[in-house]
Amino acid sequence: MRITVLSSRLAAIAALALATVMAGTPANAADDVVKSDNIRLEAHLGLPAGAAINSDLAFQGDYAYVGNFNGFSIYNIRNPRSPQLVSSVSCPGGQMDVTILGDILVTSVDSSRNNDSCQSTPQSATVKESWEGVRIFDVSDKTNPRYVKSVETNCGSHTHTLVPARGRDAKKFFYVYVSSYSPAANFPDCQPPHDKISVVKVPIANPAAASLVGTPVVFPDGGNETQPGLLLPTSGCHDITVYAEKDIAAGACMGDGVIFDIRDRERPRIKARTTDPNFAFWHSATFNNDGNKVVFTDELGGGTAPMCTAAQGPNLGADAIYEIRGHRLVFKSYYKISRLQTDQENCVAHNGSLLPVKGRDIMVQAWYQGGLSVWDFTDSSRPKEIAFYDQGPVDPTQLVLGGYWSTYYYNGYIYGSEIARGFDVLKVDDRRTNPANRVKQSLLNAQTQSRYPERGW
């Protein structure tokens, strides 16, 4: 989702956000849920006091980190059926996407502020002194996280990706790829054509020394700017997913889908690139475990509109499955949930992650108020749904911003960051997915993929 793109969209999203706050307790009851028989809700916690608009998730050990537009929250998930809120940090600045490594939590701010502090207030990007970028926290004390560093980046940080360094350097430092876009001539720190990412280097032993080390232009000849139906012309990337072991990354870059060669971490370069006439906004990407396929999502409508209706059909606001063949991305098929949603439900493809099942390509994915879907794309041309969970609209009388921003699989459970309702834990019980329960992870940043240990039947 993009909160600071165009004035008309900003006004619309602001209105939806206000409606979310004014709606208070969701109008739907628990029995408004439509779901498959093989999935159940194990736990639900509402938004913590002061939180607004839940965003992305990250996991490490027994803890889940949940961003929101007013800061972030930390949950103890040692018992997934009874998660406990440990702390909730107030530090406004959307979207507050999060990644975690050791005691270092990195967060994204794509909301122009009057300074970099947690007491900052909104200030126009036309003012040179305004700030946007990444904030870094020390979370060694989960009950009292400590803000240690900010790094300003061009056009802010809409999303970011934690990128391990190569070889032995991975114990010394990591990189952060900062995705941002939508430059304007009157934005001193966000000048057109942009077409680049920002690279931040973070020393693990001293995160306070984090610094910007490069702003490589990834579209030196410009991106896709002329395709009819684009939400916005390419001026950067919305999201980047890295597969560090294979030295590749997949970029969802507004009007373009790309594969990067990241052997030189500070200078990623495009090795494969494609466009799609049915895609309005390349939003995010997920590799399969072998790294020879990638699922791209199209965020038609920017995440704030009802795009799962009969009027949109099965190929708009959907996933696109591509096989990676050398320097080519080969399209195989689309996947979209088949359950039609109402005009009061923002719905489109959004964030998900893999389930580690041997020999299968299975992922769980969020669809905002379309709920979540667990689906199999082992046959790239014939994806199939395995399970789904879909609550009714936050408000059946009007379109209110809500639904799952992200749904990720971690150590036997699916965790959902629900924009308006809070934090959910779900369990899928199916012979096709149950082998994944035997795979234990100690870390999950969904946009930093590594090869899963797989468990078969």
List, for residues 66-113, the tens digit of each pLDDT value.
999 999 999 999 999 999 999 999 999 999 999 999 999 999 999 999
- Count other C-beta atoms under 10 Å from residue 99's C-beta: 28
Q: Which domain holds residue 136?
A: 7-449
- pLDDT at residue 84, as a whole number: 98
Residues in the chain: 457
Indicate if the pLDDT at residue 2 is higher than 70. Answer: no
**pLDDT reported for residue 453:** 78
**Minimum mean pLDDT among 8-22, 175-189, 230-244: which range?**
8-22
The answer on pLDDT for 19 being more than 90 is no
Q: Exposed, middle or buried: residue 168 (CB in 10 Å: 0-12, 13-18, 19+)?
A: exposed
pLDDT of residue 354: 97
HSE of 171, CA atoms in CB hemisphere, 13 A: 2
Q: What is the mean pLDDT of residues 306-310?
A: 97
> What is the C-alpha separation between 425 and 427, in angstroms, rounded?
7
Lowest-confidence segment of 24-28, 33-37, 329-333 by average pLDDT:
24-28
String of DSSP letters for 81-103: TS-EEEEEEE---SEEEEEEETT
Binned at pLDDT 50, 70 and 90, residue 29 comes out as very low
CATH of the domain at 40: 2.130.10.10
Q: What is the pLDDT of residue 33?
A: 95
The answer to the question of residue 186 being in a domain is: yes
Number of domains in the chain: 1
The reply to whether 455 falls in a domain is no
Residue 240 resides in a domain: yes
CA–CA distance, 351 with 408 (Å, rounded to integer)? 8
Confirm whether 454 is domain-assigned: no
Residue 4 has pLDDT above 60, yes or no: no
114 located within any domain:
yes
**What average pLDDT does this structure show over 413-422?**
97
Q: What is the mean pLDDT of residues 293-312?
A: 97
224-248: average pLDDT: 96
- At residue 13 the predicted structure's pLDDT band, cuts being 50, 70 and 90, is very low
Query: What's residue 452's pLDDT?
Result: 87
Whether 30 shows a pLDDT value over 60: the answer reads: no
In-domain check, residue 375: yes
- Distance, in Å, from the CA atom of 330 to the CA atom of 325, rounded to the nearest integer, reads 7
Q: Would you place residue 14 in the very low, low, confident or very high pLDDT band (cuts 50, 70, 90)? A: very low
Number of H helices and E strands in the chain, helices first, is 1, 31
Whether 457 maps to a domain, the answer reads no
Percent of the chain with pLDDT over 70: 92
* Residue with the two structure tokens 């439900």: 345
Residue 1 placed within a domain: no
What is the residue-averaged pLDDT of the chain? 93
pLDDT average, residue stretch 301-307: 97
Average pLDDT over residues 359-378: 98
Supply the pTM of this predicted model. Answer: 0.94
Q: What's the pLDDT at 455? A: 64
Mean pLDDT of 253-268: 98
Q: What is the pLDDT of residue 37?
A: 98
